[in-house]
Amino acid sequence: MNLLVLMVDQLAGTLMAGGPAPWIPAPHLQALHDRAVRFEAAYCASPLCTPSRAAFMTGLLPSESGVYDNAAELPAAIPTFAHRLRALGHRTILAGKMHFVGPDQLHGFEERLTTDIYPADFGWTPDWSRPDARIDWWYHNLGSVQHAGTAQTTNQLEFDDEVTFRTRQRLHQLARRADDRPFTLVASFTHPHDPYVARPEYMARVPAESVAMPEVAAPADDPHSRRLAAVADSASFPLTEAHVRAARRAYAANIAYLDDCIGAILATLAECGFAEDTAVLFLADHGDLLGEHGLWFKMSFHEASARVPLWLAVPGGPPPARVETPVSLLDVGDTLVALAGGDGPRDLMALVPGGAGRPVPAEYMAEGAVAPMVMWREGDWKFVRAPGDPDQLFDLATDPQECHNRADDPAASEVLAVMRATVAARWDLERLADDVRKSQRRRLLVHDALSRGRRTGWDHAPVDDAGRRFMRNHLDLNVVEATARFPRAEEME
In a domain, 430, yes or no: no
Q: Which stretches of the chain drop beneath a pLDDT of 70?
A: 355-356, 489-493
In a domain, 465, yes or no: yes
49 as an active site residue: the answer is: yes
In a domain, 406, yes or no: no
Nearest by Cα to 12 from 312, 291, 232 = 291
Q: Structure pTM?
A: 0.96
99 as an active site residue: the answer is: yes
pLDDT number for residue 493 = 52
Q: Are 25 and 256 in contact (CB under 8 A)?
A: yes
Query: How far apart (Å, rounded) are the C-alpha atoms in residues 308 and 293?
Result: 18
In a domain, 221, yes or no: yes
CB neighbour list of residue 194: distance below 8 Å, 6 or more residues apart = 10, 140, 144, 145, 247, 251, 288, 296, 297
In a domain, 402, yes or no: no
Q: Are 114 and 96 in contact (CB under 8 A)?
A: yes
In a domain, 310, yes or no: yes
Which amino acid does the sequence have at 28? H
The pairing of strands 321-323 and 37-39 is parallel
Nearest by Cα to 3 from 170, 167, 184 = 184
Residue numbers of the domain that contains 355: 2-359+441-492
**Letter string b/e over residues 104-127, b meaning 16 or more CB atoms within 10 A of that residue's CB:** bbbbbbbebbbbbbbbbbbbbbbe
Catalytic residue among 99, 107, 191, 243: 99
Q: What CATH number does residue 285 fall under?
A: 3.40.720.10
Q: Are 102 and 78 in contact (CB under 8 A)?
A: no
Tally of domains within the chain: 1
189-224 pLDDT, tens digit per residue, is: 999 999 999 999 999 999 999 999 999 999 988 999
In a domain, 415, yes or no: no
Catalytic residue among 28, 33, 44, 49: 49
pLDDT number for residue 487 = 84
Nearest by Cα to 105 from 467, 463, 464 = 463
Q: How many CB atoms lie within 10 A of CB 284?
A: 26
Q: Are 233 and 308 in contact (CB under 8 A)?
A: no
In a domain, 411, yes or no: no
